[in-house]
Structure 1
């Protein structure tokens, strides 16, 4: 093995994919340890407090994921050590330690300074997840957008300091395809206007606005200018999103997945428009839309692409309407129903529907 030079050994180690196998290789000798680090492209950081001890061994990383609290200085070290990063995920989930989605991170958790450092030193970034990092605000996001010309995915869910100022910069991004703003409750219609009139209107495929409860029909209506949008989530966006906004959304004919959960002022009017115009719709969730009736649900009967229909807490939808829709919409694979409907739906009807598609009681 001593005859192996670094280049030859590197070619061998690049073919070793399994993490445990790579760890074993790194324990062979000092040369193998060094070259294994140089050829490592992905790394998961489970103990950020040890970052300074092991990170310098991996200067060529393109994927880095981290769990728990990570400081500005940690992120600055990452940016300095790994300039070729393409994917940065600061919301790593571990199977043995599942973090609560609403867990509050410590006072030293990363903020704008750390994000700015990454933005400056890692221009090749394409996917960035900053979910739950509540100390990150507009300054870091604006710098990230300006520096990362190839950024395609940006997850800012639960980054509660984000405002319309950040969305103005995001709207100018030229390659963004996925944007998650869940729980960014300071976002308003003005911010949505930036997304709908900027470069993102031609690139965005998925937009999550869950719990952005300051937006209204005016802002939602502007989203129809995002011409190629395939997935839109407006769950829990509040009572100021009504059929006016819903009908406007129906003009986006490319839509495949829609979530209107708990929009209490959405009714059959919106569903009729969606069924008529969004012929590529694959999944729709209207949980908690109490104004919806069987007439709105039956409008989906002729859709040839619909696979998932969720109707939990839709108390004006009866079993007969569900049965008719399932029988006529042959593409349906899964229907989500309220548990309360189960006791009123005849067993024979349930058995008949279960033979056609999967019933999920919620």
Structure 2
């Protein structure tokens, strides 16, 4: 290259000419619908997500499932730092993953903190995997790291060897759905006052629950919601204990058990604040029980499905006698829905 080409003036001139030529050339990105001529537009400038305010980025991350949140920490240091924001870990749902105890412990140590309010887990009862979901050590660590945990939901887990006394003391809602429990499993937690703040207890599908497990629940003074659907070992003795110890219940779900009209009468006479009531698949209960339920004027939602022994006339009388009823689930919708709608068009019939 000669000296002339190396001169600074000539170099600056070439750069300015190239810049002017680039600015004068339009970027074509579309076509006019009317004339078919090309429409010049300004050059598109890409926006990097890292240029967004951190509050906006955290809001975007909140829509990610837990697994994607964990993976996002590998993208860059900024993602890793923002993913530890406490607002992203208030409600953690792990039911869509087959997560083992070791991985669950790792997630707990990395991300769960005082901000955690709601934790939902799924075990391995319905799979061929033979492993534990929880351990005593994990529950102790969860209690220490998340002292504000108010709701714990566990599905399909083997919990017979797990001490209930190690459950977090901050729990207000405990849902153990279709879990394997031994008889008297809740007793240590009740005796030690671990569950004294409990407001709702769901033991649906826990087939080992018996009448003897119900009486110790009298210590749950703040209990408002109780679900015992699928606890087939229960009978009228359990209902007698529930109505005596928890007359202020707002929701009671029972079914698939040997309850009779005697138990239904106890419920109707003692539970004056009940708003939601279910008696699914109770073959020993007759239409006479519907007359007892008719006295419960506070009922808003009622489920009497899978009880073909209830005649239509008794159901109509029941609906007429419940002024606050908003929703009712029956065995055969086709035969009674039209008549119920005539009685009260605001009732939802399922």
TM over 0.5: yes
Q: Secondary structure at the match of 2:345?
A: helix
Alignment-derived partner of residue 53 in structure 1: 74
Distance, in Å, in 2 between the alignment partners of 1:129 and 1:37 is 23
Change (3 A) 1:142 1:297: farther
The answer to whether residue 166 in structure 2 is matched with residue 169 in structure 1 is yes
Alignment-derived partner of residue 266 in structure 2: 273
The answer to whether residue 178 in structure 2 is matched with residue 178 in structure 1 is no
Alignment-derived partner of residue 156 in structure 1: 154
Alignment-derived partner of residue 215 in structure 2: 221
> 1:311 Cα deviation (Å)?
0.9
Change (3 A) 1:351 1:122: closer
Distance, in Å, in 2 between the alignment partners of 1:201 and 1:281 is 22
Alignment-derived partner of residue 126 in structure 1: 116
Distance, in Å, in 2 between the alignment partners of 1:315 and 1:38 is 52
Is the deviation greater in 207-216 or in 148-157?
148-157
1:311-355 Cα distance to aligned partner (Å, 9 max, x none): 11213221122122211221111221112x744x5x874453353
Partners of 1:216 and 1:241 within 8 A in 2: yes
Counterpart of 1:114 (choices 101, 104, 114) is 104
Alignment-derived partner of residue 242 in structure 1: 235
Report which of the two structures shows the higher radius of gyration computed on alpha carbons. 2
Change (3 A) 1:27 1:255: farther
Counterpart of 1:32 (choices 45, 52, 75) is 52
Change (3 A) 1:351 1:42: closer
Alignment-derived partner of residue 358 in structure 1: 348
The answer to whether residue 317 in structure 2 is matched with residue 324 in structure 1 is yes
Give the aligned CA root-mean-square deviation in angstroms.
Answer: 3.0
Change (3 A) 1:188 1:57: same
Q: Secondary structure at the match of 2:314?
A: helix
Is the deviation greater in 50-59 or in 252-261?
50-59
Distance, in Å, in 1 between the alignment partners of 2:264 and 2:80 is 55
1:17-46 Cα distance to aligned partner (Å, 9 max, x none): xxxxxxxxx935744366754787835237
Alignment-derived partner of residue 260 in structure 1: 254
Alignment-derived partner of residue 202 in structure 2: 208
Distance, in Å, in 2 between the alignment partners of 1:142 and 1:294 is 49
Alignment-derived partner of residue 42 in structure 1: 62
1:80-116 Cα distance to aligned partner (Å, 9 max, x none): xxxxx4332223xxxxxxx6xxxxx55xx34245336
Alignment-derived partner of residue 90 in structure 2: 86
> 1:228 Cα deviation (Å)?
1.5
Distance, in Å, in 1 between the alignment partners of 2:348 and 2:107 is 48
> 1:154 Cα deviation (Å)?
0.9
Distance, in Å, in 2 between the alignment partners of 1:180 and 1:247 is 23
Q: Secondary structure at the match of 2:121?
A: coil
Structure 1 unmatched runs, 5+: 1-25, 65-84, 92-98, 100-104
1:197-242 Cα distance to aligned partner (Å, 9 max, x none): 333443111111111111111002222321111111111112x211
1:119-160 Cα distance to aligned partner (Å, 9 max, x none): 5874404324232243522232342124422211111122x1
Partners of 1:38 and 1:57 within 8 A in 2: no
Q: Secondary structure at the match of 1:302?
A: coil
TM-score by length of 1: 0.71
Distance, in Å, in 2 between the alignment partners of 1:236 and 1:180 is 14
The answer to whether residue 135 in structure 2 is matched with residue 138 in structure 1 is yes
Structure 2 unmatched runs, 5+: 1-45, 125-131
Partners of 1:312 and 1:337 within 8 A in 2: yes
Partners of 1:188 and 1:219 within 8 A in 2: no
Distance, in Å, in 2 between the alignment partners of 1:275 and 1:31 is 62
